[in-house]
């Protein structure tokens, strides 16, 4: 039997927890940017905080402990931290590997107990609940759709399909779409056929050597449980008019587009991403730099469009009324360990240049912006490579496509975006974790994760 | 071999990979020296939020008031005065030496003895002068390293930070009491790719324990000053005690920071300390009310002498912290400058 005293104590504890700080961190990144590994590394780092040298809460000895907590509300699966970690550390009969691509939304709450400094060297115990959400990066590209209507999107998508290397990939779908009159009623099998061609074009563009990023709608690439639903059976029409009359193909497509927005894109954004107050934008610059200028232009479009959907700015008491704003945004060029350290600043500089317009806009809105070249997990080491032309700083690691450790010179990193040619001058090699790189019982080796976390969470842990 | 055609492309090694064991892979092409990519300095302040704004301003003011080179310039009046004195002393010495040489050349036993004594005296004098120069140079070196660290911290220039780190480790490598801290730093530095960040960690891991030790020493001396003032039989004696304790606080801090200042260096150090105190004083306008508040309340409750003791104790803390700032080879950036107010509270307020 609980006594009244216990009851009162419980209430007081609950009331006290209302004062806890909460940060909802949006880990934003297109598919293959490294969101899952970033989240796993962040959680692993905070649970085993022996390597975050630059996180001031740790350096000042104010950190007590971090714990994984069940997420309040039970409708979203938990982020499979343990499974991802098992992939990364490897097991007795399974070599370490990168986790598979994310196929569904998951969330995780990490609670951090720490002490806040007060005046005169005194400290106050405090708690930060860090809510993190992981989701397929493909779906992120649905966000720019929310502010478009069908006709606008069609024009945009068709124009895009004619550009550069996409032309070849989109030829079949465009031919099919052009053969269907927009102002006549369409028949369902033909629509399904063309929609399938459209989806095939998106898939092909994703795997093309140019590594296209701007692939909408996202669910066409990763439908989840929605595969085959009418809301996923549409495509852009070359001559879609605004306000097409009822009964025409254009009208049908527009209706399906709207229902896609209403029933898929908007709920995803509202439930998982709308309330974030910190954001890290992960960008795999290396892949796109190696793929060439077209790939970078496409990436820029995708990032600019995606970030436009969020609300950035300084948080104030008004946010209590009108919802939170994102007050800090970190642009992170991931996989920096795939380059020698001398190139890291250059890599971050290229990312700066790529997101320059967006970051100016966010800064103007009042958000704090920072960019950094990071490696959530470091799987290479620095080395010097002797060649007939001299000694060069290189890296050594286990390439994805090899079974033995290799020494690698990735080549000359372009100094500016304009200098990116996509030629074989610069050819970074993809690495994978070796056994022992990541261990269950201690913080992983990483590059600048502490700087990243200090920027994102430093003030919340103050 | 084709090289970078575009002017903006860094020319460098061509992509290359080989098995780490050393089997030869394909050979990379010929490549000229490769310029390092650089980007504009990012916001360096994000890691300094721990230190309050006031502290950064403190540091700035200390710079501005010229703890460094600018302040070491002496006015011409002083120079002439010193030159005059030196000339007088030389004349006097020359006479003495003349006499001594006269007796030494006479060949008597006394003469030899005098010659020996003169030689030793000369040697001692030379040692003293060299020692003074060395300790002055060390003090200057501190300022130089501090400026270097400060610049490297704000520009985040890797090369400069690397240089500052080398200077710092050279300064601390020979101290057995810092061996443990240095080992910890070396271990931590392995995880950090940027030299500017290594400086932050260096300050926390190596200078941190040193700061703590200095602060503990300052507090002990301050407590002594407070007690002595409270029990000193007369005001003149009290003033002498406090002056001596304050000077010893400066000396102790300098010793703990690895400086052994001679006469000239002590003088220079005293001036730097006072400058640092003046600079900090402006920032601690609020703290200024502290002695009054602490002393005032005690005056009302206990006695006037005890109140005065508290005031003197706080003065010693202030001087000690200023001396720490003047002798520290890094500016207070990652670590906060010890707050005089908080220290005063802990030491004499309670």
Asked if A409's CB is within 8 angstroms of B13's CB, the reply is: yes
The count of domains in chain B is 2
pLDDT at B268: 84
Tell whether B57 is covered by a domain. Answer: no
Tell whether B48 is covered by a domain. Answer: no
Residue among B15, B20, B21 minimizing CB distance to A409: B15
pLDDT at B35: 36
Contacts of A414 in chain B (CB under 8 A): 6, 8-10
Residue in chain A closest to B46 (alpha carbons) equals: A455
pLDDT at B55: 42
Q: How confident is the model at residue B40 (pLDDT cuts 50, 70, 90)?
A: very low
Contacts of B37 in chain A (CB under 8 A): 342-343, 345-347, 349, 413, 415
- The secondary structure element, H or E, covering residue A173 is helix A166-178
Residue by residue, pLDDT tens for chain A (462 residues) are 557 778 877 777 766 666 788 899 999 888 888 999 999 999 999 999 988 989 999 988 899 999 998 877 778 899 999 999 999 998 888 899 999 988 888 999 999 999 998 877 788 899 999 999 888 988 999 999 999 999 999 999 999 999 888 999 999 999 998 888 878 887 888 888 999 999 999 999 998 988 899 998 989 988 877 777 888 889 998 887 788 888 888 899 999 999 999 999 999 998 888 888 899 999 999 999 988 899 999 999 999 999 988 888 876 666 656 667 899 999 999 999 999 998 999 999 999 999 999 999 999 999 999 999 999 999 999 999 888 888 889 999 999 988 899 999 988 899 899 888 877 788 889 999 988 888 888 889 999 999 999 999 999 998
Choose the weakest-confidence range: A38-47, B92-101, B331-340: B92-101
Contact (CB, 8 A) for B349 and B292: no
Residues B268, B204 share a domain = yes
Residue in chain A closest to B185 (alpha carbons) equals: A53
Tell whether B228 is covered by a domain. Answer: yes
Task: State phi, psi for B78 to the nearest 5 degrees.
Answer: -65, -40
Contacts of A418 in chain B (CB under 8 A): 6, 8
pLDDT at B264: 80
Q: Does B334 touch chain A (CB under 8 A)?
A: yes
Average pLDDT, chain B: 75
Q: Does B339 touch chain A (CB under 8 A)?
A: yes
Tell whether B81 is covered by a domain. Answer: no
In b/e form, how buried is each residue of B252-271, taking b as 16+ CB within 10 angstroms? bbbebbbbebbeebbebbbe
Size of the A and B interface in Cβ pairs below 8 Å: 163
* Boundaries of every domain in chain A: 16-134+277-380+435-457, 139-270
Residues B200, B345 share a domain = yes
Closest CA to A306 of A141, A148, A133, A136: A141
Residues B176, B116 share a domain = no
Average pLDDT (B43-62) is 39
pLDDT at A20: 84
How far is Cα of residue B43 from the mean position of the Cα atoms in its chain? 27
Closest CA to B71 of B217, B279, B340, B307: B279
Residue in chain A closest to B340 (alpha carbons) equals: A120
Contacts of B188 in chain A (CB under 8 A): 53
pLDDT at B240: 86
Residue among B33, B37, B46 minimizing CB distance to A370: B46
Residues B126, B163 share a domain = no
Residues B190, B117 share a domain = no
- Note the pLDDT tens digit of each residue in B211-252: 999 999 999 999 998 888 887 777 788 888 888 999 999 999
Closest CA to A365 of A313, A317, A417: A313
Residues B318, B237 share a domain = yes
Residues B220, B123 share a domain = no
- Note the pLDDT tens digit of each residue in B177-208: 999 999 999 999 988 989 999 999 999 999 99
Angle between helices A356-365 and A293-307 (to 10 degrees): 20
CA distance A55 to A45: 11
Asked if B191's CB is within 8 angstroms of A51's CB, the reply is: yes
Contacts of A462 in chain B (CB under 8 A): 49-50
Name residues whose C-beta falls within 8 Å of residue B77's C-beta, 6 or more positions apart in sequence: none
Q: How confident is the model at residue B148 (pLDDT cuts 50, 70, 90)?
A: very high
Residue B198 domain boundaries = 138-349
- Note the pLDDT tens digit of each residue in A376-407: 999 999 999 888 888 889 999 999 988 899 99
Asked if A409's CB is within 8 angstroms of B17's CB, the reply is: yes
Asked if A396's CB is within 8 angstroms of B19's CB, the reply is: no
Q: Prior bond to B304 cis, omega within 30? A: no
pLDDT at B32: 36
CA distance A62 to A113: 9
pLDDT at B21: 55
- Note the pLDDT tens digit of each residue in A33-76: 899 999 999 999 999 998 898 999 998 889 999 999 887 777 88
Q: How confident is the model at residue B276 (pLDDT cuts 50, 70, 90)?
A: confident
For B:184-213, CB contacts with A below 8 A are: 188, 191-194, 197, 200-201, 204
Contacts of B29 in chain A (CB under 8 A): 389
- What CATH number was assigned to the domain covering residues A16-134+277-380+435-457? 3.40.50
Residues B284, B186 share a domain = yes
Asked if B204's CB is within 8 angstroms of A406's CB, the reply is: no
Tell whether B299 is covered by a domain. Answer: yes
CA atoms within 13 A on the CB side of A408: 24
What length does chain A have?
462
SS3 label, residue A72: coil
Task: State phi, psi for A326 to the nearest 5 degrees.
Answer: -85, 115
SS3 per-residue string spanning chain B: CCCCCCCCECCCCCCEEEECCCCCCCCCCCCCCCCCCCCCCCCHHHHHCCCCHHHHHHHHHHHHHCCCHHHHCCCHHHHHHHHHHHHHHHHHHHHHHHHHHHHHHCCCHHHHHHHHHHHHHHHHHHHHHHHHHHHHHHHHHHHHHHHHHHHHHHHCCHHHHHHHHHHHHHHHCCCHHHHHHHHHHHHHHCCCCCHHHHHHHHHHHHHHHHHHHHHHHHHHHHHHHHHHHHHCCCHHHHHHHHHHHHHHHHHHHHHHCCCCCCHHHHHHHHHHHHHHHHHHHHHCHHHHHHHHHHHHHHHHHCCHHHHHHHHHHHHHHHHHHHHHHHHCCCCCCCCCCCCHHHHHHHHHHC
Name the minimum distance, in Å, from the CA of B229 to any CA of chain A. 25
For B:44-103, CB contacts with A below 8 A are: 46-47, 49-50
Residues B159, B125 share a domain = no
Contact (CB, 8 A) for B322 and B273: yes
For B:130-159, CB contacts with A below 8 A are: 158
Give the domain-ending residue among B101, B134, B167. B134
CA distance A179 to A198: 14
Closest CA to B252 of B323, B204, B193, B183: B323
Give the domain-ending residue among B134, B169, B198. B134
CA distance A168 to A22: 48
C-alpha Rg value of chain B to the nearest Å: 28
- Note the pLDDT tens digit of each residue in A16-26: 666 788 899 99
Return the residue matching tokens 């003090």. Answer: B139
CA distance A426 to A429: 10
Angle between helices A166-178 and A150-161 (to 10 degrees): 130
pLDDT at B271: 85
pLDDT at B26: 38
Residues B126, B171 share a domain = no
Return the residue matching tokens 């419980």. Answer: A10
Q: How confident is the model at residue B37 (pLDDT cuts 50, 70, 90)?
A: very low
Asked if B201's CB is within 8 angstroms of A447's CB, the reply is: no
Asked if A415's CB is within 8 angstroms of B10's CB, the reply is: yes
Asked if B200's CB is within 8 angstroms of A414's CB, the reply is: no
Name residues whose C-beta falls within 8 Å of residue B195's C-beta, 6 or more positions apart in sequence: B152, B158, B159, B161, B162, B165
Closest CA to A212 of A143, A301, A107: A301
Contacts of A419 in chain B (CB under 8 A): 6-9
Tell whether B16 is covered by a domain. Answer: no
Residue in chain B closest to A450 (alpha carbons) equals: B192
């Amino acid at each position: 039997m609980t006594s009244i005293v216990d009851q009162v104590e419980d209430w007081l504890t609950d009331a006290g927890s209302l004062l806890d700080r909460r940060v909802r961190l949006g880990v934003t990144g297109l598919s293959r940017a490294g969101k899952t590994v970033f989240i796993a590394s962040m959680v692993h780092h905070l649970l085993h905080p022996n390597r975050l040298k630059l996180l001031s809460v740790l350096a000042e000895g104010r950190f007590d402990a971090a714990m994984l907590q069940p997420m309040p509300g039970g409708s979203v699966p938990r982020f499979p931290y343990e499974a991802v970690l098992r992939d990364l550390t490897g097991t007795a009969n399974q070599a370490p590997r990168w986790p598979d691509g994310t196929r569904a939304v998951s969330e995780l709450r990490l609670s951090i107990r720490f002490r806040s400094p007060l005046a005169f060297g005194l400290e106050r115990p405090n708690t930060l609940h860090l809510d993190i959400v992981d989701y397929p990066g493909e779906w992120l590209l649905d966000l720019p759709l929310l502010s478009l209507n069908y006709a606008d999107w069609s024009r945009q998508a068709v124009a895009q399909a004619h550009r550069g290397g996409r032309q070849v990939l989109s030829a079949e779908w465009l031919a099919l779409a052009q053969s269907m009159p927009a102002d006549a009623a369409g028949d369902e099998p033909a629509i399904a056929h063309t929609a399938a061609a459209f989806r095939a074009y998106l898939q092909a563009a994703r795997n093309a050597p140019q590594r296209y990023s701007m692939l909408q709608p996202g669910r066409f690439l990763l439908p989840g449980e929605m595969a085959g639903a009418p809301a996923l059976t549409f495509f852009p029409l070359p001559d879609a008019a605004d306000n097409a009359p009822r009964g025409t193909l254009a009208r049908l497509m527009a209706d399906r587009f709207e229902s896609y927005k209403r029933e898929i894109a908007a709920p995803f954004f509202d439930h998982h991403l709308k309330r974030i107050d910190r954001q890290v934008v992960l960008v795999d610059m290396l892949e796109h730099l190696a793929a060439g200028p077209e790939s970078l232009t496409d990436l820029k479009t995708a990032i600019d469009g995606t970030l436009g959907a969020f609300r950035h700015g300084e948080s104030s008491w008004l946010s209590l009324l009108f919802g939170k704003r994102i007050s800090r945004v970190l642009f992170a060029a991931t996989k920096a360990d795939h380059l020698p350290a001398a190139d890291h600043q250059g890599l971050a500089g290229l990312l700066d240049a790529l997101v320059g317009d967006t970051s100016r806009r966010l800064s103007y809105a009042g958000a704090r912006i920072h960019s950094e070249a990071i490696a959530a997990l470091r799987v290479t080491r620095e080395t010097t490579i002797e060649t007939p032309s001299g000694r060069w700083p290189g890296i050594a690691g286990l390439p994805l496509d090899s079974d033995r450790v290799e020494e690698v010179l990735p080549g000359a990193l372009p100094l500016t975006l304009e200098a990116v040619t996509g030629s074989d001058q610069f050819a970074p090699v993809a690495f994978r974790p070796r056994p022992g790189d990541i261990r269950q019982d201690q913080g992983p080796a990483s590059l600048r994760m502490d700087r990243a976390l200090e920027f994102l969470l430093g003030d919340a842990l103050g | 071999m084709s090289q970078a055609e575009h002017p903006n492309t860094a020319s460098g090694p061509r992509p290359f990979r080989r098995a780490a064991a050393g089997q030869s892979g394909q050979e990379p092409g010929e490549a000229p020296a490769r310029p390092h990519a650089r980007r504009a300095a990012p916001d360096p302040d994000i890691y300094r939020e721990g230190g309050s704004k006031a502290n950064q301003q403190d540091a700035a003011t200390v710079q501005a008031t010229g703890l460094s080179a600018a302040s070491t310039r002496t006015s011409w009046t002083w120079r002439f005065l010193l030159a005059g004195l030196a000339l007088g002393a030389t004349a006097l010495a020359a006479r003495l030496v003349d006499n001594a040489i006269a007796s030494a050349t006479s060949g008597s036993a006394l003469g030899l003895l005098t010659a020996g004594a003169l030689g030793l005296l000369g040697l001692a004098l030379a040692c003293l002068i060299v020692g003074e120069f060395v300790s002055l140079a060390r003090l200057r070196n501190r300022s130089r390293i501090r400026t270097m660290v400060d610049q490297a911290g704000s520009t985040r220039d890797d090369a400069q930070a690397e240089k500052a780190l080398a200077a710092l480790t050279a300064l601390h490598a020979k101290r057995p009491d810092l061996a443990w801290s240095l080992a910890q730093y070396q271990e931590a530095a392995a995880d950090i790719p940027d030299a500017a960040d290594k400086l932050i960690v260096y300050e926390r891991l190596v200078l941190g324990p040193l700061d703590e030790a200095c602060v503990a020493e300052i507090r002990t001396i301050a407590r002594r000053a407070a007690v002595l003032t409270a029990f000193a039989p007369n005001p003149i004696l009290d003033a002498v005690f406090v002056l001596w304790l304050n000077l010893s606080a400066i000396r102790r801090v300098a010793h703990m920071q690895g400086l052994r200042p001679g006469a000239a260096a002590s003088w220079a150090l005293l001036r730097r300390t006072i400058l640092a105190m003046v600079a900090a004083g402006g920032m601690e306008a609020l703290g200024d009310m502290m002695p009054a508040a602490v002393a005032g309340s005690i005056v009302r409750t206990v006695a006037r002498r005890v109140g005065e003791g508290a005031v003197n104790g706080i003065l010693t803390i202030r001087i000690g912290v200023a001396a720490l700032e003047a002798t520290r080879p890094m500016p207070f950036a990652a670590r906060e400058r010890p707050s005089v107010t908080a220290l005063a509270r802990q030491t004499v307020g309670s």
